[in-house]
Structure formats: structure tokens, C-alpha cells
Amino acid sequence: MPSPTYEERIKAYEGRAAAVAGVGKDPVNEPMIRHWCEAMGDTNPAYAGRHAMAPPTMLQAWTMGGLSGHTGRSEAYDELFALLDGAGYTSVVATDCEQEYLRPLRPGDEITFDALIESVSGRKTTKLGTGHFITTRMDVRAGGELAGTHRFRILKYAPAQGKPKEQPSPTDRSNPKNRSNPKNSRPRPVINRDNAGFWEGVARHQLLIQRCCGCGALRFPWLPGCNACGCLEWDTVEASGDGTVYSYVVMHHPPFPAFDPPYAVGLVELSEGVRMVSNVVGVPYDKVRIGMPVRLEFQRYDEELELPVFRPGETGESGEGGGG
């Protein structure tokens, strides 16, 4: 008997279990329903109060394993992934989800579930690349009774080759070809009528903060109205340029062609009191510290783009007592 082809091997996963005898980590409960509704902005009264039911679209939420995951997960899904990875289909994208609701879920319902690999498609070519669609069906039960099904489809694929040969190392910023490639250049700010004045200021090397004409509150980033009093009239004050690092993160991942990770992104508190997100430059990313005094400067990235950034301030002024 001939050994199975690759297509036969992946097809053989159809019908195999992806999760067996799963148990929801929490019964259906009001706090999770409330958080969900707040996040979705869903104020339907059916989801609140003593006789609340869970929003049907929460179906999958009751089965999620969280950071700690579920035990007893089937190995078939991982094996299928490994097989597809090995065939070069290393990327994955979620494509769609279908749910079917058979009975409402209410606080107190205990959730169990099973999932199986319902189908593995033949090889398909999409705009993203070529690969296979995998559909998983999860049956969600409450008190042992089928409450709904959740079908989840992904595409496991090999990314379509664009024109990679023209850019051997797309993240190498020292290569001028890469800088001039719009895909590798720094993202442009979205300038609209609400923030145009800010960017006009940047062009003149002024960092402008909005000031409410009603209550005098300063605000940044720019907004059409005042959060404090609702007034729509405003003028601007120019920032002195002094600030401190209020907080920061160091970006390692994901890599993005316009940036060279790792790099520090600072939340800088200006001496006027407002905060802004910007790069902290002129210092290694791992030397950025909360409370570090910084000074505004304008950095040019290319012919069109200049941005306000912050550089650690001169330390000369702290010489008079070592207080720092």
C-alpha cells in the first residue's frame, strides 16, 4: 500500500478531536456579562438584573482557558499545525467565525465543551498566500444540554511573495533603498482639521498645547473640545520643551520595517502638566528611566517627516548639591 500523500495526511485530521471534555473555568456569571456588555457598549436590559441572560455572542467566552489554558487538550490540532508548518504553511490568520444558539445561557450555568476539526480544505490560493482552511467546531453545553455551536475558521498559509528580491533586508535602515521604499518609511501622521494646528506648529519647531478658552485647562493630544467643561473654543500655548519621563515601554516585538527594535517609547510629562507619547532618543533603550529629565527636540526622519522627540536633559544643572 502506498504511503499517504501530504494531502491525504492532512485530510485524515478531519473529524478528530481538538478538545475533549472541556470544562468552563467559571460558570456563566454576572460580572463577566457586565464586563462584556461594558466593553461592547451593549445596554440591552436582557443582559442585566436578576433574570439576566448572557449575550449569545459570549458563547466562546465561557470556554476560554485564559493564560493558564485548559488541561486535557487534544494533540491532533497541534499535530496538524506541525504538519502544515513543515510543508511551509507557517503563517496563520483567523478568517471567520459562525455561531448557532440553541438555548440561552444564564448565570449559574455550568459549561462543558468539545471541539473537533470539522474540515481541512484542499490547497487554496488567496491574496494572502496559498494554504489550507481549517474549520473547528466547538459544541458548548450547559448542564449537559447543547446550548450552542461555535465554528472557527483559520487559514494556515505560506505568505504570497511580493517582490522580496528587491529588498534583501527590509529592516536594514542603513540601506537608502529601504528608507525610500514607502513600506519601510516611518508611518505618516494622520492630519485632520482637529489636529492640523499641532502639525503646523511642528513644522515651525513649536510644540503647541491646546488651552481651553472656557476653563483654561491644557490638553494634549489635540481634541475639538474640552473634556473638563465642554467648551469648543481654544487657543494654544507653546511648550517650554522641558519634561520628564512619566513612564515608558521598550518595544522588542513585533518587528516593523520602519523601526529598529529594541527602542524606547516614552510617555513624557511636559512641565506644563500634559503628557505625550514620543520617542526618547540619544540614550540606549535600557537606560531610559521613569523620572528622567528630558528636553524636546525635532528630529527629521525623511524629506517629509519631522517629529517632536525627547532627549535626556543636560545634567549640568544638578551640580549644585547632588540632589539629582
Interface with Zn ion (CB under 5 A): 212, 214-215, 217, 226, 228-229, 231
- Report in angstroms how near the CB of residue 225 gets to Zn ion at its nearest: 8
- Report in angstroms how near the CB of residue 69 gets to Zn ion at its nearest: 48
DSSP labels, 184-244: TSPPPP---TTTHHHHHHHHTT--EEEEETTT--EESS--SS-TTT----EEEEE--SEEE
Task: Compute the distance between CA of residue 282 and CA of residue 252 in angstroms, rounded to an integer.
Answer: 18
List the grid coordinates of 166: 528587491
Name the residue nearer to Zn ion (CB basis): 232 or 277: 232
- Report in angstroms how near the CB of residue 223 gets to Zn ion at its nearest: 11
- Report in angstroms how near the CB of residue 151 gets to Zn ion at its nearest: 50
Name the residue nearer to Zn ion (CB basis): 226 or 280: 226
Name the residue nearer to Zn ion (CB basis): 214 or 293: 214
- Report in angstroms how near the CB of residue 163 gets to Zn ion at its nearest: 51
Name the residue nearer to Zn ion (CB basis): 128 or 217: 217
Task: Compute the distance between CA of residue 166 and CA of residue 89 in angstroms, rounded to an integer.
Answer: 23
Which residues, at least 6 apart from 164, have a Cβ–Cβ distance to it below 8 Å? 170
3-state helix, strand, coil in the chain (%, to 5): 20, 35, 45
- Report in angstroms how near the CB of residue 41 gets to Zn ion at its nearest: 26
Name the residue nearer to Zn ion (CB basis): 217 or 223: 217
Name the residue nearer to Zn ion (CB basis): 159 or 197: 197
For residue 53, the surrounding DSSP H or E stretch is: none
Q: Given CA atoms 266, 272, 274, 278 in this order, what sign does their dihedral have?
A: negative
Name the residue nearer to Zn ion (CB basis): 18 or 218: 218
Q: Given CA atoms 117, 121, 122, 125 in this order, what sign does their dihedral have?
A: negative
Task: Compute the distance between CA of residue 20 and CA of residue 173 in angstroms, rounded to an integer.
Answer: 49
- Report in angstroms how near the CB of residue 235 gets to Zn ion at its nearest: 12
**Peptide bond between residue 221 and the one before it cis (omega within 30 degrees of 0):** yes
